[in-house]
A and B are shown apart, each in its own frame.
Chain A
Amino acid sequence: DTGVSQDPRHKITKRGQNVTFRCDPISEHNRLYWYRQTLGQGPEFLTYFQNEAQLEKSRLLSDRFSAERPKGSFSTLEIQRTEQGDSAMYLCASRQSSGAHNEQFFGPGTRLTVL
């Protein structure tokens, strides 16, 4: 399967714990995006990478959140000291950078539940 994959698909954690999610983009895509989707809402942009460089971060990305893409391939999103408000679906997408209109391909998401 050459689509975007995310791991894990579901994560249940207790408040105050740290969690890390992984995203593997389509191999030839140099742009990688993270979005957060809460129940009943559309996805909201969190951050994006071009290759290994993180080029933009949303104000939604508090200092408890950190994202990396160390070799320009897979990416990780870590949330420290989780709060109940962090419960959401975390979506990853990738695309080629050439052409602003190129389609973003989305992964299935990681659903986080913070108890």
Chain B
Amino acid sequence: AQSVTQPDIHITVSEGASLELRCNYSYGATPYLFWYVQSPGQGLQLLLKYFSGDTLVQGIKGFEAEFKRSQSSFNLRKPSVHWSDAAEYFCAVAGWSSNTGKLIFGQGTTLQVKP
């Protein structure tokens, strides 16, 4: 069965520190992978996506993620966190072989930023 695991439910980092949010997926075929961010009262906003090609993808707001097929991982990184990055982050997978486009989400990681 398709699934996404985000092992860290809650992470706290200091402003200016680096950040890595973990994501592992289980999918039998080539996955499409996404990272979304959700701020309170806001809808989900796409940070970045991976389909093929270069395994290091750049996104908005200074985020990047690296696809590692051997580890079934798609971890999100940012070199220097800003207070405005405090939010909930979701990793999601969509099936390449499925035409539905439906997303399967992890349970999310809540990021808290200390001043």
Contact = CB atoms under 8 A, between A and B. Distances in A.
Interface of A: 3-4, 31, 33, 35, 40-45, 48, 55-56, 91, 93, 95, 97, 100-104, 106-109
Contacts of B94: 100-101
Nearest to B110: A40
27 contacts: A3-B43, A4-B43, A33-B103, A41-B107, A42-B6, A42-B92, A42-B106, A44-B105, A45-B104, A48-B101, A56-B100, A56-B102, A91-B43, A93-B44, A95-B101, A97-B101, A100-B95, A100-B98, A100-B99, A100-B101, A101-B51, A101-B94, A103-B49, A106-B36, A106-B43, A107-B43, A108-B43
Contact of A40 (B43, B45, B102, B107): B107
A45 B103 contact: yes
Interface string B38-49: 000111111001
B104 A91 contact: no
Contacts of A102: 101
Contacts of B102: 33, 45, 48, 56
B46 A103 contact: yes
Nearest to A46: B102
Nearest to B33: A101
Interface in B25-70: 32, 36, 41-46, 49, 51
A59 B100 CA distance: 16
Interface centre among B41, B90, B101 (most CB of A within 10 A): B101
Contacts of A104: 46, 101, 103
Contacts of A48: 100-102
A42 B32 CA distance: 17
B47 to A, nearest CB: 11
Nearest to A31: B101
B101 A108 contact: no
Contacts of A107: 43
Nearest to B45: A106
A42 B101 contact: no
